[in-house]
Amino acid sequence: MTITSTLKSRKPWDAKDKKYQLQQLLVHVGTPILAVLVVAKTGIRGGSGLFFTWLGLHLVTGALLAKFGRRKYSIANSTIEILLAASLIVFITAAMSVLAPVFTKGTAAFSSNLLFQDASTTEPGAELITGGILHAIIGTTIIVLLASVISIPIGILAALYVTEVRGRLTPYVRFFVQAMSGVPSIVAGLFVYAALIVSGVLNFSGLSGAIALSILMLPTVARTAEEVLLLVPDDLRSAALALGATQRKVIRMVVLPSAGAGLVTSSILGIARVTGETAPLLLTAFGSTQINTNPFTDPMAALPIYIFTQMLLGTDNDVARAWFACMVLMMMVGLLFGTARLLVNRRNLK
């Protein structure tokens, strides 16, 4: 004989409560639809109108669900969940509105000469079928490569000091690297201008630009490299030291190889950080309309400077070229960034 209970548990731990799921679906899918209908009927204008209508409605329906739904919880709880969702929506919408025109207006301006010519013969406002941004692409590449050559070794040395030497200065080094990461880009440009260009050591040139960028790049490389090096287990270091290795050999043969992919990632992140910098280059590389492959003498073009000057010219065609350059720049940054991400993932899988 079995006892059948007339009391049925509501099973609050059971996520697959059909009725509750239905109520949730009704509120969280129904409210946005309702908001769209309300906006269509009442003639509230624009995306922001729709957003605030939805937010208001959803706060009310969410509160109703909390109060009268199958599972009761506080209205404050439903309110905070909806506000969190709203913050995500606002950010993603804004971010997409930044990315979308880069690619729509960039592709709209595309013509093949833009990639394969320089701007030396392009008059302001000239048609899109003349001139191009090749000089700026070459300039950016040279400047950024030079900046990497300067700042990646120093950045990794700074990180090694913090993780390997662990001397009395360690907290200060870490602090100064952090403080350096907050140096405004324009100040880095001013510094190089004052220290190297005014004093006559260098001209407006690719090298001056690279030095300015390396000031901005160094802290990024140092901080991410430090994080990577801290992941190397101390056991490995101890084992190598116990086998009689000198510290130099420990670092060269144990620490650096095991942190290799991570260090590449930190370098790439540093490069991605400075590829789009504009202000310091305006004060140092200065910009040019011709292809210049010599970073030591004359002013050199770069994509950000090119975009800046095209914006100042301001005619429709110039601005269209600026958007195209923005797209190329964004693709370069995205490519670097994606590579860094892939490397991180591969390392985590290993």
Distant-in-sequence, close-in-space partners of 62: CB < 8 Å, separation ≥ 6: 27, 31, 78, 79, 81, 82
Distance CA 267, CA 340 (A): 9
Nearest to 188 by CA among 112, 285, 105: 285
Q: Which of 23, 34, 101, 110 binds other proteins (CB under 8 A)?
A: 101
Amino acid at the residue 287:
G
Closest to other proteins by CB, 125 vs 334, is: 334
Taking the complex as a whole, the smallest distance from the CB of residue 195 to other proteins amounts, in Å, to 5
Q: Which of 25, 26, 36, 48 binds other proteins (CB under 8 A)?
A: 48
- For residues 147-159, b (16+ Cβ closer than 10 Å) or e, as one string? bbebbbeebbebb
Is 71 near other proteins (CB under 8 A)? no
Q: Which of 26, 36, 42, 87 binds other proteins (CB under 8 A)?
A: 87
Q: Which of 21, 121, 246, 297 binds other proteins (CB under 8 A)?
A: 246
Q: Which of 25, 33, 37, 157 binds other proteins (CB under 8 A)?
A: 157
Strand partners, 96: none
Taking the complex as a whole, the smallest distance from the CB of residue 179 to other proteins amounts, in Å, to 6
Q: Which two tokens stand for residue 5?
A: 């209970």
Per-residue binding string, other proteins, 311-330, x by CB under 8 A, is x-------x--xx--x--xx
Q: At what angle do helices 134-160 and 206-230 cross, to 10 degrees?
A: 40
Residues 163-222 that bind other proteins (CB under 8 A): 164-165, 167, 169-170, 172-173, 175-188, 190-191, 194-195, 198, 215, 218-219, 222
Residues 117-156 that bind other proteins (CB under 8 A): 153-154, 156
By the 8 A CB rule, do 160 and 148 touch? no
